[in-house]
Structure 1
């Protein structure tokens, strides 16, 4: 059964340092009086990672950018990194006249959200971190390529691949283990949006490897995240799942490592959500229902 349409979707570009940030907005009839939630996607994703969650939040205005270097924001010049993304989010809220909001971050978006809340504390009420935001268990001394490959694996390798068109790209993703039981029309739209011309007659993923490398190094070896977590002042709720980017256990946060992180950052409230992988906790109907339920609880707490 189709879900009722509860949002009016639009897109806009917001000026930021180095170019324009492309943004999706799902508005509601209540207009400015509606509660607003800012959604921040993962390292190689786009704002179209969020429609499943959006559909389960009737009456809530949802705002989601393509982070710089991704989607239709892939023309922004300059380096990335957590502080650069945080500045872009502040510019986005300014452009839309949003003073304060709950921020929901998935994967790398969780790291961006923590840093954003630290650098712009007056703009954030509460944080929902979905399988990201606390430090990963990464060995010291890795090169940039080793770090990216160790964390992202085939996800990073895909960025250098070329495809004949959308059909070939969808066929590539159909073989992905993370979506074996979760293939949907919404997922196809998300994937098709990710494909852009490479300038030589073929197509490539919108996210560049260089941008991914900048962000991966910064969120794992830079100072922005440790400083933000040490100064955490907003209620933060972390959801983790037991399977990773390739649907493999133990996921991004092995239990022993996660326990250490939660002891180090005791103000972060944690919930383990069984039955999902890193993607399907957001990009599947059942996963999105759980995330949306948490967002509804946080909206109630913030009001």
Structure 2
């Protein structure tokens, strides 16, 4: 699917579609705006999706820190102002992007907020575990690739094809997402993602649970959560298991919680049926 790109104060912003009804979409911690390509293709007529590369990622990688989720939320709101977003705009985020969406929605009203496999505060870290250890344990291969170089684009694609989440789930949309992330000279290609951005953002996400909880409870817009039943490495336990979600569902009676069947943390945005479900929930209140 084609898209139009522009620069907003150094942020790469892409608009998929041309409909008057708008969704602003925020990607995850080591991702890019191309994470939303498959969902954008499945939007009904009359809708468009605006996605940005967060600073430290994609074609916004050169933007300086400090990073941290409040900084990203401010960037999202600047993009919203740039496109003239009114209260009828839908805000969504996936993974870390869902936490960014929570912080942004606490500062500005949206028509509704849709959190995709993220956005609820993590429990306190186990004693003796620091935030970087927790991040390494959670992200696994996603962090490993930031420390590697690759001899060719094909080698980078093969690295992703071996990822447990994508094995058996490879699509043209996943490949476009992977290739978009590459930079550097042939023979020493690497991810565009700035490692320091990931570390700062990960620390903030794990250590500032109270700030996330306060922001979440203050959102006035209708709030939906879409969960994947399987995790980042396609393991049987998802990122947001019932024991984490149910107390929040009780605390926030307006929160709609839905498990999207037969997907993992990544394929919820890429597999045809799952991406269509996300697109439907974004456009059908």
- TM class by shorter chain equals over 0.9
The offset of 1:143, in angstroms, is: 2.1
Q: 1:1-303 alignment to 2 at 5 Å?
A: 9-15=3-9, 20-28=10-18, 34-57=20-43, 58-100=45-87, 101-119=89-107, 121-122=108-109, 124-141=110-127, 142-197=129-184, 202-222=188-208, 223-298=210-285
Distance 2:283 2:46 in 1: 11
Distance 1:166 1:180 in 2: 18
Distance 2:130 2:189 in 1: 29
* Unmatched runs of 5 consecutive residues or more in structure 1: 299-303
The offset of 1:167, in angstroms, is: 0.6
Distance 1:213 1:261 in 2: 27
Give the alignment's TM-score, normalised by structure 1.
0.87
Distance 1:257 1:95 in 2: 36
1:3-54 deviation line (CA, Å, top 9, x unaligned): xx7xx62101101xxxx100111232x5xxx111111111111111111111
Q: Is the 8 A contact 1:177 1:246 kept in 2?
A: yes
SS of match in other structure, 2:267: coil
Distance 2:219 2:80 in 1: 21
